[in-house]
Amino acid sequence: MKIAYLVPESEISGGQRVVFQQAEELARRGVTVTLVSPSPKPRWFPLEGARWEQSDFRSSPALSEADVRIATFWTTVSPAMDGARGPVFHLCQGYEADLTFYAHRRDEIRRAYALPTRKLAIAPHIEERLESEGYRPVAFIGQAFNPDDFPRAQHRRFDVESPAILIVGTYEADVKGIRETLEALRAARAKGVAYRLHRISTAPPGEEEKALGLAEEHRSGLLPREMSAAYQGSDLLIGPCHPEEGFGLPVLEALSSGLPVLLSDTPGHRHIAREAAAYFRCGDVSDLLGALESVLPDSDRRRRLSEAGPLEAARFRTADVVDRLLAEFDRASLRKTGSR
C-alpha cells in the first residue's frame, strides 16, 4: 500500500507534528508513506521512514501513485480528491468553519468538508461536531502522541514562593483564550498574588500584549525538546482554549511532564485531562481568577494534579492511532494482504 499525506506547509506547529508522527509510525510498520508539500522538508522534525516530496499537488508523482490519500487541512481536500484512484481521507484536527479567524472563508471551508472524503477525527467532540453538520462518514482515531518526548520532571517542587505560570498560544487568536487569561493574571497581581509569567507562542508578542508588561519571558517557535524543558521548568500551566479549539496539545504535553494544569472547562479538555486538572468556566475572567487564587497556593493539590497527569497522558499513543488508521483503510477495502 502507498499512502500520501497532503501537507500545506512545513513550518513548526503542533498540528504538523501530529501528521508527521502518524506518517513515521506507518512507515515503521512497513507502509510506503510520502508527505507531499509545496514547502521544503522540515528541519525541526526528524523524518526517518516517511519520504518528503516537495512538489505542487497537481504534478506530484507520489499522489498519482497513492492508494490512499490523506488531506491534512481543509485547503488540501480538493487537491486530494483531484484524480484520486481510491477513497480519500480527511484528517480533522478541528472544524475551521467555527473559528472567527476564518469567518471570511467559511463557505469555502464548508464546501471542502462537504466533499466525499472519509473524515478522521482526533477527538470525540470533533467527531460529534462534524456529524452534527452532516459530514459523514466520520471515524474517531485519537491523538498521536509520544509520552517519551515529554518525560515527567524529576524532583518537582511545589513550595516556591513565586510560582512560574506557563501559558502557550497566540494572543491574537481569540480561540486560544489568552486575552482573558492575561486580564485575570493582571487582576491577580493587583491583589498581591505572587507569580512569574512565562509565555510561549508561534510568533513574537505583538505591541498590545507587550504593553501589558506581565510576562517575564516570551519565546516563540520552540522545538519539542525546548517545549519539554519549559514544562519541566514551570509550576502551573493555564490552558484557556475555547471549545472551538480542536485539541489542546500543550495540555497533553504538560500532563505528561507532571506539570499541574488549570483548564477551561470544555469537552476537549475534559477528554484530555479528565480528573487530572483543575477547571474554570471558559471565558469567565472572574472564575479563572478565583480558581487561580485557590490552586496556586495549594501545594498539596498541585502535587496531586502532578501525580495524576502522566497517567492520563499515557492514554494517548501514536501506535493506537495508527492501529485505528489501518482499520479504517481495511473498512475502505484498500489494504491488501501483507501490505503491513
Q: Do residues 140 and 127 share a domain?
A: yes
- Residue 99: CA count within 13 A, CB half-sphere: 18
pLDDT of residue 61: 97
Q: For residues 225 and 257, give the distance between their C-alpha atoms in angstroms, rounded to a whole number.
A: 12
Q: Do residues 101 and 242 share a domain?
A: no
- Residue 232: CA count within 13 A, CB half-sphere: 13
**Range of the structural domain that residue 41 is part of:** 2-146+317-331
Q: In the numeric block, which cell numbers belong to residue 237?
A: 500551566
pLDDT of residue 333: 67
Q: 55 Cβ partners below 8 Å, 6+ apart?
A: 36, 38, 61, 62
Q: Do residues 140 and 279 share a domain?
A: no
Return the residue matching grid coordinates 494517548: 316
With contact defined as beta carbons under 8 Å apart, do 246 and 72 qualify? no
3-state secondary structure of 2: strand
β-sheet bridge partners, residue 196: 164
Q: Do residues 296 and 152 share a domain?
A: yes
pLDDT of residue 330: 86
* Residue 336, domain member (yes or no): no
User: Using CB atoms within 10 A of its CB, is residue 275 exposed (0-12), middle (13-18) or buried (19+)?
Assistant: exposed
- Residues of the chain short of pLDDT 50, as ranges, are 334-340
* Residue 337, domain member (yes or no): no
* Residue 340, domain member (yes or no): no
Q: Do residues 123 and 161 share a domain?
A: no
Q: How far is CA 62 from CA 12, 67, 190, 259, 307, in A?
A: 23, 10, 58, 42, 45
Q: Do residues 19 and 119 share a domain?
A: yes
Q: For residues 260 and 87, give the distance between their C-alpha atoms in angstroms, rounded to a whole number.
A: 42
H-helix or E-strand spanning residue 217: strand 215-220
* Residue 97, domain member (yes or no): yes
Q: Do residues 130 and 183 share a domain?
A: no
* Residue 39, domain member (yes or no): yes
Q: Do residues 221 and 128 share a domain?
A: no
Q: Do residues 95 and 207 share a domain?
A: no
CATH number assigned to the domain comprising residue 63: 3.40.50.2000
Q: Do residues 277 and 327 share a domain?
A: no
Q: Do residues 264 and 169 share a domain?
A: yes
Q: For residues 121 and 105, give the distance between their C-alpha atoms in angstroms, rounded to a whole number.
A: 21
What is the torsion angle, in degrees rounded to the nearest 10, for the CA atoms of residue 239, residue 244, residue 250 and residue 253? Answer: 110
* Residue 339, domain member (yes or no): no
Residue range 162-200, pLDDT digits in tens: 999 999 999 999 999 999 999 999 999 999 999 999 999
Q: Do residues 194 and 95 share a domain?
A: no
- CB-CB neighbours of 306 under 10 Å: 23
Q: For residues 208 and 7, give the distance between their C-alpha atoms in angstroms, rounded to a whole number.
A: 32
* Residue 169, domain member (yes or no): yes
- Number of structural domains (the chain) is 2
Residue range 13-51, pLDDT digits in tens: 999 999 999 999 999 999 999 999 999 999 999 999 999
* Residue 338, domain member (yes or no): no
Check the CA dihedral 183-187-188-189 and report its sign. positive
Q: For residues 114 and 109, give the distance between their C-alpha atoms in angstroms, rounded to a whole number.
A: 9
What's the one-letter identity of residue 191?
A: K
Taking each helix axis from N to C end, the angle separating 178-190 and 285-295, rounded to the nearest 10 degrees, works out to: 60
With contact defined as beta carbons under 8 Å apart, do 127 and 290 qualify? no
